[in-house]
Structure formats: structure tokens, C-alpha cells
Structure 1
Amino acid sequence: MRNWYLLQCQVQNFQRITTRIHMLNIESFVPTEVKISRRRDCNGCRTTEKPLFPGYIFLRFDPEEIHTTTFTEIPGARHFVSFGGQPETVSDTIIAALKCSAHLLIYPEDNAVGFKNLPPELIEKISLIFSTKNALERQISFFKLLESDNDIELMTRNGGRIYSQVPSNQPQIRPSV
């Protein structure tokens, strides 16, 4: 069964690893943070985009079809994030929430982030991750979110729904019930 897993890799080899993963036809996802800053030389804005979790790539695959060593043998790839010795699966709900938060409404004057159609508890946890400035602290907050995966399932099971607009060439994400 295809699940999401989190691969840790060296930051300097990030582009090479993502290229090899795409050559294997594996679905991958790297959440990014977008920073908008005013330019000093004119009235324009400069947009910079950086990975939200530097050195981590979300991969969706079936370990029975493609073994995990296929990915860890790529130069620069280290290991899959695991709790208790087994690679941790990341729920579709967390991935959908991160993808929804990638389509954020950013208000630079308020330093605030807008979310739509997410449960309030999940909004609180994701906004905490996005508001953390230090990349290491942001990763720790995300790992705590991964460990509390059962809480997220309860949030979405109690009427919370996550919607996302995806391109028409990809399968549609259905609301979790």
C-alpha cells in the first residue's frame, strides 16, 4: 500500500536527490516557505522560496514494490525518519494540510497566515510550525506533530475536512470523513 514517508538527506545534495527520485517516478513533496520582501531600489517585491524543513523530502511509495534501500543508496540520502525502528508513515491528512498551507494567504503587514477548511486544532499546530523561525525548532515541532498523528485523525474524524485544489492531471483529494 502506498504511504507517505519522510526521507532525510544532505542539504547540499538536495537537487540531485530530487532528480533521482523523479527519475524513479515516485511522488514527492517538499513544503516550502515563501518570504516576500520589499526591494530597496524600486517599488517592487522580491520573493524567495526555501524548504520549510531543510534536508527532508516526503515520498509516497509502496515499500513492497520499491524497497527503502533504493532511496537510501542515492548519494546524499541518509535514512527514513523512524520511531521505534520502523520508518514512520505520514498520514495523508498531514500531507493534505501541508499542501493546503502551501497555498497560503500571506499578510506581510500583520505577519499572519490565512488557512481555509482546516480543523482549528490542526490550524494551531501548523501555524506554530510556520511561525517558528529556526529550522531545527521547526523540525522538532513537526516531529511532535508526527508523533501525535492519532490526534490529527480524531480532529478530522469529528467533522473537520481538508480540501485542496489540485491540477486536473492529478487525482482529486477527497474530504476525509
Structure 2
Amino acid sequence: MTWYVVRTKPRQETRARLNLENQDINAFLPEITLQKIRRGKRTDVTEPLFPGYIFAELDDYAGKFHKVRSTFGVAKLLTFGENPATVPDALIEEMRHVNATTQQKAQESAMPQVGEKVEITYGPFKGFMAEIVQLDGESRCIVLLNWLQKEVKATLEFSGIRRS
């Protein structure tokens, strides 16, 4: 059994993987979970690690070439001249391990949410407690803190705050 690189049609990686698995062909789609801002809210988004590519394990390349090539979602099998692109088993296993680890870390380090209490870890307000009132892009937030008996808004990087 050898792993081959399969080129998919645009944004059809999941469809190609499912259709290959329905034909009893082992397929692997490495994915990564990211947090992105959609409609002003932070949401977890799972995307392909290599957009446009998946990996298929075949025992008979010549016999299954046309079966894979005609699968819905598949554009072609990647080749270098007439030689198909292969991937070592160890690399696939390492990608599966990294894939699982990345998803676990993404869940553990979920981004702060509006209304959450945080501690400021650097700058002139270091040590102050604040409340997140708004998310500002993918890496900053606006916090409300009490300074000299007044409520003050400040824009901070996520790396400069810690959940309390």
C-alpha cells in the first residue's frame, strides 16, 4: 500500500475524501482548526491544511487510477511526468499526529469572548483587571478597565491578556 497525492476540485476536499472512502479507498485530509472573526463574532473554522489536495492509499495504482480519477470532487492524481507523486507512510502518520495535536491546542487556547474578565499582562496597565467589551480584528480586543476611579477603554493584543 502506497500513499498518493490527489488534486481535488476547488473547495471539494471533503467531498473527494468521502467519495473515495465510499469506494473502500483509504483517504486522508489533513485539517487545521482556526479561530476567525465572522460577522463580528469569533468562531472556530476547520480548513484543509493543504487546500486542493488530499492523500489516498492505493495497493494497485494502475488498476485504481481511473476509479480515483473519475471520483466526484477529484480533479486528478498528481504526477511528475509519468511518475505518480507518492508520500511515505511515516509522513502521513506524522501529519495525523500533528493534525490531532493542533486541534487539541486550538480547543485549549480558545480566544477570549466579549464579557470575559481578563488580567492585563504587559504595558502601563500591567496587573489591572479588565472586561472585554469588543473584539477588534483577529488579534486584538477592546477592554474596559477601572483607572483612577474612571472606566477607561484600551485596545490590547490577545498576547497581552490572561484569563482570570
1:66 Cα deviation after fit: 4.2
SS of residue paired to 1:53: coil
Using the aligned pairs only, state the percent identity: 23
Deviations 1:50-86 (A, max 9, x none): 0111121111111258421111112442221222421
Q: Which residue of 1 aligns with 2:8?
A: 9
Structure 1, gaps ≥5 residues long: 110-177
Show the counterpart of 2:47.
50
What is the 5 A alignment of 1:16-165?
16-37=15-36, 46-63=43-60, 66-102=63-99, 103-104=101-102, 105-106=105-106
Give the whole-Å Cα distance in 1 for the aligned partners of 2:12 and 2:45: 20
Query: TM-score normalised to the size of structure 1?
Result: 0.50
The alignment yields a C-alpha RMSD, in angstroms, of: 2.7
1:11-47 CA distance string (max 9 Å, x none): 2444442332121111111011111357966xxx621
In structure 2, relative to structure 1, the CA distance for the partners of 1:13 and 1:31 (3 Å cut) is closer
Larger radius of gyration: 2
Take 1:108 and 1:83, find their aligned partners in 2: how far apart are those partners?
41
Unaligned runs of 5+ in 2: 112-164
SS in structure 2 at match of 1:67: helix
Structure 1: how far apart are the matches of 2:71 and 2:6? 11
Regions of 4+ moved over 6 Å: none
Match for residue 124 of structure 1? none
Give CA deviations for 1:106-134 in whole Å, capped at 9, x if unaligned: 5578xxxxxxxxxxxxxxxxxxxxxxxxx
Whole-angstrom CA distance in 2 between matches of 1:70 and 1:99 = 25
Q: Which protein is richer in helix relative to its size?
A: 1
Is contact 2:34-2:44 (8 Å) kept? yes
**How far apart in 1 are the matches of 2:32 and 2:15?**
21
How many pairs align? 105
